[in-house]
């Protein structure tokens, strides 16, 4: 699962990328259009992992991870109603969700392509740009369907006609500025358009990149923007990219000290990473084996047998049963043995749908 970082030129994309991945990609540099994307992995902060570690004293704790891709060079026309194409579109299409870095910091030495700082305008512009791009793909596909329909055999006609109807419906909603992620589609319709990788169908996280001077307003701004952009499959967060990048390069304890000195309670960054994880439809379950507590990433609605397969293919192949304790139950009992004694350890079969925070042991035989 991959999150594509997008945004207008010089909005702070690489800065945010470095902050989430603790990376050291060059910031503020001229990025040639031939440059490949920056790819990095962020550890998903999860307080439950800390609790489990304290309780069970493993030698190692392993958090879940999520991959971010910072597309080095947005095309010159981005944000100018020219649509998205070429290599840039190819990279973007592969992303499972988009993280839009919205410029909200003032800095005269970093000029904005539109000459002023206006985050809401920028959100609207990029939405429009992506809608253009989706509409262009739909138009091309509709033309091809028309051609194919002429030569189609009767049994093929039906499928073409159905696809045509779905695309026409989506396209008319897009024209009234409703991105696909906000359109009410049936499961069948969603499935039918999956392979097009439409940009406006991807879950969207808006990250407003504010300046250090507005740090004290961060939470009120966050409330305001959250309310304004409360839409299906969308989330909003506020972050001071530059500061978060600097903090991410420090040792944890030093960073923590700076945070308290600045009056920052929870790392805005942690929240942002968790939001992107949730937006991808991902949850974590935990295993405790041989001195290691580990968070594993699965999609919501994953059956136990598939979850076991994440840990080891043999566990999926030879799956017998799962022994599961809900995280909260384990915390209440203080140990796995006590949870078992109190009957809070559930024995589950292949089809059990794993829940967020389950602490699982898989029994298998091959």
Report if residue 241 touches ligand GTP, rule: CB under 6 A.
Answer: yes
Distances from the Cα of 329 to the Cα of 300, 324, 344, 352, angstroms: 20, 10, 7, 18
Q: Which residue do the tokens 């292949």 mark?
A: 350
| Minimum CB distance to ligand GTP smaller for 35 or for 320 | 35
Rounded to a whole number of angstroms, the minimum distance from the CB of residue 78 to ligand GTP is 9
Rounded to a whole number of angstroms, the minimum distance from the CB of residue 145 to ligand GTP is 37
Residue 284 near residue 356, CB atoms below 8 Å: yes
Instruction: Please pick, from the candidates 2, 107, 163, 182, the single residue that binds ligand GTP as defined by CB under 6 A.
Output: 107
Alpha-carbon distance of 20 to 276, in angstroms, equals 11
Report if residue 119 touches ligand GTP, rule: CB under 6 A.
Answer: no
Interacting residues with ligand GTP between 70 and 89 (CB under 6 A)? 74
Interacting residues with ligand GTP between 25 and 54 (CB under 6 A)? 27-28, 31
Report if residue 11 touches ligand GTP, rule: CB under 6 A.
Answer: yes
Alpha-carbon distance of 353 to 303, in angstroms, equals 4
Q: Tell which residue, 252, 270, 284, 292, has the closest CA to residue 43.
A: 270
Instruction: Please pick, from the candidates 1, 10, 221, 344, the single residue that binds ligand GTP as defined by CB under 6 A.
Output: 10
203: which 2 tokens? 């879950």
Report if residue 246 touches ligand GTP, rule: CB under 6 A.
Answer: no
Alpha-carbon distance of 157 to 183, in angstroms, equals 26
Report if residue 211 touches ligand GTP, rule: CB under 6 A.
Answer: yes
Q: How many residues sit close enough to Mg ion to count as binding (CB under 5 A)?
A: 2
| Minimum CB distance to ligand GTP smaller for 211 or for 281 | 211
Report if residue 181 touches ligand GTP, rule: CB under 6 A.
Answer: no
Alpha-carbon distance of 110 to 215, in angstroms, equals 19
Alpha-carbon distance of 293 to 258, in angstroms, equals 29
Report if residue 200 touches Mg ion, rule: CB under 5 A.
Answer: no
Alpha-carbon distance of 198 to 134, in angstroms, equals 6
Interacting residues with Mg ion between 5 and 44 (CB under 5 A)? 13-14
Which residues are paired to 235 by β-bridges?
A: 205
Report if residue 13 touches ligand GTP, rule: CB under 6 A.
Answer: yes
Distances from the Cα of 39 to the Cα of 25, 257, 342, angstroms: 10, 29, 46
Report if residue 202 touches ligand GTP, rule: CB under 6 A.
Answer: no
Segment contacting ligand GTP by CB under 6 A, of 40-48, 104-112, 145-153, 192-200: 104-112
| Minimum CB distance to ligand GTP smaller for 202 or for 242 | 242
Longest dimension (CA), the chain: 72
Which residues are paired to 303 by β-bridges?
A: 353
Q: Which residues bind Mg ion (CB under 5 A)?
A: 13-14
Q: Which residues bind ligand GTP (CB under 6 A)?
A: 7, 9-15, 27-28, 31, 74, 105, 107, 110, 209, 211, 240-242
């Amino acid at each position: 699962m991959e999150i594509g970082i997008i945004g207008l030129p010089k909005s702070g994309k690489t800065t945010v990328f470095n902050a989430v991945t603790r990376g050291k990609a060059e910031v503020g540099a001229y990025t040639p259009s031939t440059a490949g994307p920056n790819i990095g992995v962020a550890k998903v902060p999860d307080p439950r992992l800390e609790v489990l570690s304290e309780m069970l004293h493993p030698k190692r704790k392993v958090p879940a991870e999520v991959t971010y891709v910072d597309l080095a060079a947005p095309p010159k026309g981005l944000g100018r109603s020219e649509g998205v194409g070429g290599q840039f579109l190819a990279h973007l299409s592969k992303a499972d969700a988009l993280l839009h870095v919205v410029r909200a910091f003032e800095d005269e030495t970093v000029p904005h392509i539109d000459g002023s700082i206006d985050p809401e305008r920028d959100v609207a512009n990029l939405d429009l740009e992506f809608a253009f791009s989706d509409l262009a793909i739909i138009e091309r596909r509709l033309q091809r369907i028309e051609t194919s329909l002429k030569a189609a055999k009767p049994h093929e006609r039906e499928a073409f006609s159905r696809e045509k109807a779905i695309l026409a419906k989506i396209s008319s909603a897009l024209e009234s500025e409703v991105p696909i992620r906000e359109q009410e589609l049936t499961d069948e319709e969603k499935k039918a358009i999956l392979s097009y990788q439409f940009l406006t169908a991807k879950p969207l996280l808006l990250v407003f990149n504010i300046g250090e001077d507005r740090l004290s307003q961060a939470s009120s701004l966050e409330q305001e923007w959250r309310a304004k952009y409360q839409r299906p499959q969308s989330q909003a967060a506020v972050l001071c990219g530059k500061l978060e990048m600097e903090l991410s390069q420090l040792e944890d304890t030093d960073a923590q000290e700076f945070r308290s000195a600045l009056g920052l309670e929870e790392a805005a960054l942690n929240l942002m990473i968790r939001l992107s994880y949730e937006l991808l439809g991902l949850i974590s379950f935990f295993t405790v084996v041989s001195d290691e507590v580990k968070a594993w990433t699965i999609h919501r609605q994953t059956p136990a047998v598939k979850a076991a397969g994440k840990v080891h293919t043999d566990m999926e192949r030879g799956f017998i049963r799962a022994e599961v304790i809900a995280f909260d139950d384990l915390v209440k009992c203080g140990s796995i043995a006590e949870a078992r004694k109190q009957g809070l350890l559930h024995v589950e079969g292949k089809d059990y749908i794993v829940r967020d925070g389950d602490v699982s042991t898989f029994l298998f035989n091959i």
